[in-house]
Amino acid sequence: MAVVAVALVSELNPVAEVAAVALLLTVVVRAAQAMRDYGAMLATKTLEAGTDALTGLPNRRRLLADLSVPHVRPSTLALFDLDGFKSYNDTFGHTAGDTLLAQLAASLDGAVAGRAVAYRMGGDEFCVLVDSAAAAGVIADVAAALVAREGDVAISSSWGVVALPDEAATFTEALGIADRRMYAMKNGRPRSAGSQLREVLVRVMDIREPDLHDHVLDVGRLAEGVARRLGLPEHEITDIVHGAVLHDVGKLAVPEVILHKPGPLDDAEWEIMRRHTIEGEQFLAGIPALANVARLVRSSHERWDGAGYPDRLAGDDVPLGARIISVCDAYDAMVTDRPYRRSMGRAAALTELRRCAGSHFDAAVVGAFCAMLDEDAGAGLLGTLAA
């Protein structure tokens, strides 16, 4: 085109040549400006498409794009859901709720600045993508940032964490894992559906079998202490505590004549008794808020050497939560008086646990349990159980 234009210009007189060149330059300049304007508009549209309109944070689409880029270092995806936000909306209205979301988003963005990227997933869900090496500190700071109070309504958050790429290979898989772990943590809150249902079941056990009530609560406290000492994630601790408290719930299906038999059980009675873990699993699997702990209850009487029941699992095939429950259950049984025998002291019970480590029990769990009692001796968590 330029060659043709030059050829045409060369056939004109000098005045016409100047005018033609000026016109040609004007067209070129305007075309370049139009291209720049289009590029700027396209960049703006692209940015807007990846930005949440209410909070200004990157949105779900932007997170998907960021996750599609290969990461040189391991990353951690943390999904946060606000606790109490529905009550806030119901009390103060949706306009006030939107204002609060914008304020919390600004606080969140400031908390991760220079260390991670924060996203709004929609509704009252936020997400953070961070290098795994810095994840623990960032998650703690995000949890502190997503806090508010207005009158009697308090806002906090529950979260679920997934390691990339070790635990998930796709965007959908990562969000699914994080979401399940987030709700496991939410169900561990004192007034969550899972905690309230657990309390109801414990009361039912108390009515049917008063001896079980104190026992299962003691096992729950011990199991939480061991799980924390082992450094397990919060969502796993929640499931382990629920599983520990409910590990005997299946005994509600065992006839009283067998539960209260003063002498040894015969083979047929033992067969019925051993089914209590299966009954417990089937019962809990039908309760959505407690379904995650069903397999821990089923495996709570498995042994490290494979001689347990009902599936004769061995070693690492036994879920870690079930291995923790098994040790805590055995200790509490040994240090508690029973109608048919006297309890043994703390030292004797710990000696027995150590003797059975590597056969009946996971040696690593026994080590953590014994170290926990030796070091803190309860310290307000275990109370008389450690005495």
Please tell me whether the overall predicted TM-score, pTM, comes out greater than 0.85 for this model.
Answer: no
| SS3 letters across 216-268 | HHHHHHHHHHHHHHCCCCHHHHHHHHHHHHCCCHHHHHCCHHHHCCCCCCCHH
Q: Over 70: is that where the pLDDT of 44 sits?
A: no
**What does pLDDT average to over the chain?**
83
The CATH T-level fold of domain 193-386 is: Hypothetical protein af1432 (1.10.3210)
Domain range summary for the chain, segments of one domain joined by +: 1-33, 60-187, 193-386
Task: Give residue 134's pLDDT.
Answer: 87
pLDDT in tens, 119-153: 999 999 999 999 988 888 899 899 999 999 888 88
123 to 85, 181, 284, 316, 385: CA distances (angstroms): 10, 18, 30, 40, 44
Please tell me the distance from the alpha carbon of residue 280 to that of residue 290, in angstroms, as a whole number: 11
Compute the average pLDDT of residues 61-89: 86
Which of 63-72, 206-215, 256-265 has the highest average model confidence (pLDDT)?
256-265
Task: Give residue 127's pLDDT.
Answer: 96
Q: How many CB atoms lie within 10 A of CB 298?
A: 26
Q: Over 80: is that where the pLDDT of 192 sits?
A: no
Please tell me the distance from the alpha carbon of residue 333 to that of residue 352, in angstroms, as a whole number: 12
Task: Give residue 370's pLDDT.
Answer: 95
pLDDT in tens, 296-337: 999 999 999 999 999 999 999 999 999 999 999 999 999 987
**Domain 60-187, what architecture?**
2-Layer Sandwich (3.30)
Q: Over 70: is that where the pLDDT of 380 sits?
A: no
Higher-confidence residue: 19 or 102?
102
pLDDT in tens, 153-163: 889 888 889 98
